[in-house]
Structure 1
Amino acid sequence: MATLVRSSLNIFPRFAQRLTAFRAYQKASLASAAATQSRPKDEKWILVSAVCLERYPKIVPPKTELEAKFKADLQRIELERSVLCDHELKHLDDIEKKKQKEKESESHPVQKVDSAGMKEEKLTAVDLEDGWDKEALNFTETSRKTDADKENDLQSLNRKLDKKLFLVVKQRLGEFEQWILPQGDHLMEESMRETAERTLGQISGVNIQSMFLGNAPCGFYRHRFSKTFREKLSADGQKIFFFRAEHSHGDVAVSDHISDYKWLTVEEMADYLKPDYYKRCKMFMSDLM
């Protein structure tokens, strides 16, 4: 039991790591807010809503070394403390009946067997096990890798089935295109979440459906414009609020708003997003359910 307790406690560092990252994100947000308050009040910022669209895992990910050890400990304890199941009791009953038949045959060596009685004889536990073994031999395990994995099709939702995937789009920002999470400017008559919902519909098309998780943003990023864009847009930069949404079904359709898109894991996003932008996004993204 002590081994089980020690193994259980080893699980918590994984969650403690996420908690530490979240607290660091909170401190960074507070520092950012304090810095914003200390700036001149005549600064103008464009409010933007972005969507963190997640496709949840479709299959269970492989067990980690710790999880496999924890499972083995549970199975050992269950075996040590368990009682006999119905199948094991049936097997003992079959052995007892066999012994009784052998004794009866010794005392009555000549005995006619009714053919009808043979049909009424029930299957023994050993017969059932033989049937199960045959079924197991006919079973073929499906590969965890799909055709999309083999072809490295980053636009397919049918890849990395044991991990979360996030939608990343190539969207025009000013005169250049960048890989970012889908985003759109906030309109006065909308709430920030409504802006996020409208943006996702415009960028991804009507074929994709999702469910937004809450009204509060899950992350924040501030981007200051260059001097040229400040004069052109009459604004100092963008304040981007990220909203989390869960993918239901459907896929993205390339439109005038984006030129390309990909479904990426958290690790793969590092190759496409800018470092400071990716650092902010990684704070509220996780493979944990």
Structure 2
Amino acid sequence: MSQKKMAAPCARVASWPLLRYFSRFERTTIANSVFRPFSNSSLRRSNLRNKLAPETPRSPWTLMAAVCLQRPPVISADLSLVEQRFARLMQQMELEKSILSEHELRLLEDAERLRRKQADEDEDDDDDERKEQDIVLTQDLEDEWERKFKTFRPAPRNTDDADKDLSSSGRLLSDSLVLLAEQQVGSDKLWLLPQAQWRPGETLRHTAQRALDSLAEPTIKANFLGQAPCGVYKYKLPKAARSDTSVGAKIFFFKAILTPDTPTNAEPNAALMWLNKRELQRFLKPAYMMKVERFILSP
């Protein structure tokens, strides 16, 4: 009798439909962690959701890289009146506190030997011959220095003729110059730092190098100062030219220094200009100039 009572629940469970049995099993915590649902409807919904999901939107900003190429001063700047007075004062103090050099001491010794010789003081013949030779050699040395000094011609500090050629890197030798290039921006031609649009697969540093290589001046050689940009400038396109995929551009600036062995431009180049910091304000827009002047090295 007890066996029949124990078999009754098992019989009721065995009589349940198979779908009802698994649906009750799926609601348990253990089943959810161990078994997958037998229905693949969730998998189909997941695949459909992935197909209908929109792709990651592309940035509406155009990335660009520009080069701030500077030519450092070639000569020292002219001294002001106060600096000239201070320089003369330091020279006078150095002269008063200085001691005689070896050449000056040798000249005094030679002059003393000559005086003693003229006074017919007793001296050995060998000593007289050596001293006479020393005096002649010392005087010859000074004469040689004087001859070289008279033939020496220093490079001119005044470069008025070259200063008029804005495309020459040999102008304004005592000032720091920045290279500008005339570039097409939309329907306008603007004077800007050499720039180029970023291409997928390259770094912004390589883009800046490509912008410099694209100039029509193959003699320009530069050393970049680091691999990271030193500034950024962002601008928006006019409302009529904007779209969902194009709003404006972000320009990342890189610093570079012109190498000393770069020759000056032999012929004028109308597409390039070398300007100092004061002259840049005449050609660059105020918002652009405000970003650029932050990292320009000027004496």
The question of whether the paired residues in 2 share the 8 Å contact of 1:212 and 1:245 is answered with yes
* Cα distance change, pair 183–121 in 1 and its aligned pair in 2 (3 A): closer
Q: Per-residue CA shift, 1:88-133, capped at 9, x if unaligned?
A: 212221232133223326x89xxx9xxx889846327666556544
Aligned residue among 67, 74, 79 for 1:63: 79
Aligned residue among 134, 141, 155 for 1:142: 155
Q: How does 1:80-95 map to 2 (within 5 A)?
A: 80-95=96-111
* Cα distance change, pair 215–85 in 1 and its aligned pair in 2 (3 A): same
Write the distance in 1 (CA, Å) between the matches of 2:86 and 2:249. Answer: 47
Letter in 2 for 1:90: R
The question of whether the paired residues in 2 share the 8 Å contact of 1:186 and 1:195 is answered with yes
Q: CA deviation at 1:67?
A: 4.5
Q: CA deviation at 1:54?
A: 1.4
Q: CA deviation at 1:50?
A: 0.5
Specify the alignment match of 2:63 in structure 1.
47
Write the distance in 1 (CA, Å) between the matches of 2:85 and 2:254. Answer: 37
The question of whether the paired residues in 1 share the 8 Å contact of 2:67 and 2:194 is answered with yes
Write the distance in 1 (CA, Å) between the matches of 2:263 and 2:134. Answer: 55
Specify the alignment match of 1:28 in structure 2.
none
Q: How does 1:78-227 map to 2 (within 5 A)?
A: 78-104=94-120, 120=133, 122-123=135-136, 129=142, 132-146=145-159, 148-149=161-162, 152-204=164-216, 206-227=218-239
Letter in 2 for 1:55: R
The question of whether the paired residues in 2 share the 8 Å contact of 1:54 and 1:245 is answered with yes
Number of matched pairs: 238
Write the distance in 2 (CA, Å) between the matches of 1:134 and 1:243. Answer: 49
Write the distance in 1 (CA, Å) between the matches of 2:134 and 2:93. Answer: 37
Q: How does 1:248-263 map to 2 (within 5 A)?
A: 248=259, 249=262, 260-263=271-274
Tell me which moved more, 174-183 or 56-65: 56-65
Q: CA deviation at 1:65?
A: 4.4
Write the distance in 2 (CA, Å) between the matches of 1:208 and 1:92. Answer: 55
Q: CA deviation at 1:171?
A: 0.4
* Cα distance change, pair 131–202 in 1 and its aligned pair in 2 (3 A): closer
Q: Per-residue CA shift, 1:171-226, capped at 9, x if unaligned?
A: 01111111110111222312111111112112345443222110121222121221
* Cα distance change, pair 90–252 in 1 and its aligned pair in 2 (3 A): closer
Write the distance in 2 (CA, Å) between the matches of 1:227 and 1:259. Answer: 32
Specify the alignment match of 1:282 in structure 2.
293
3-state SS, counterpart of residue 115 of structure 2: helix
TM-score, L = length of structure 2 = 0.66
Tell me which moved more, 220-229 or 141-150: 141-150
* Cα distance change, pair 217–69 in 1 and its aligned pair in 2 (3 A): farther
Write the distance in 2 (CA, Å) between the matches of 1:259 and 1:149. Answer: 15
* Cα distance change, pair 262–228 in 1 and its aligned pair in 2 (3 A): same
Letter in 1 for 2:111: I
Specify the alignment match of 1:76 in structure 2.
92
3-state SS, counterpart of residue 119 of structure 2: helix
The question of whether the paired residues in 2 share the 8 Å contact of 1:94 and 1:124 is answered with no
Letter in 1 for 2:200: M
* Cα distance change, pair 126–251 in 1 and its aligned pair in 2 (3 A): closer
Segments of structure 1 that go 5 or more residues without pairing to the other structure are 1-40
Letter in 1 for 2:292: C
Q: Per-residue CA shift, 1:227-246, capped at 9, x if unaligned?
A: 12222x73332221110112
Q: CA deviation at 1:78?
A: 2.5
3-state SS, counterpart of residue 123 of structure 1: helix
Segments of structure 2 that go 5 or more residues without pairing to the other structure are 1-56
3-state SS, counterpart of residue 154 of structure 1: coil
Tell me which moved more, 164-173 or 41-50: 41-50
* Cα distance change, pair 137–199 in 1 and its aligned pair in 2 (3 A): closer
Q: CA deviation at 1:71?
A: 3.5
* Cα distance change, pair 251–203 in 1 and its aligned pair in 2 (3 A): farther
Letter in 1 for 2:62: I
The question of whether the paired residues in 2 share the 8 Å contact of 1:171 and 1:259 is answered with no
Paired-residue identity, %: 34
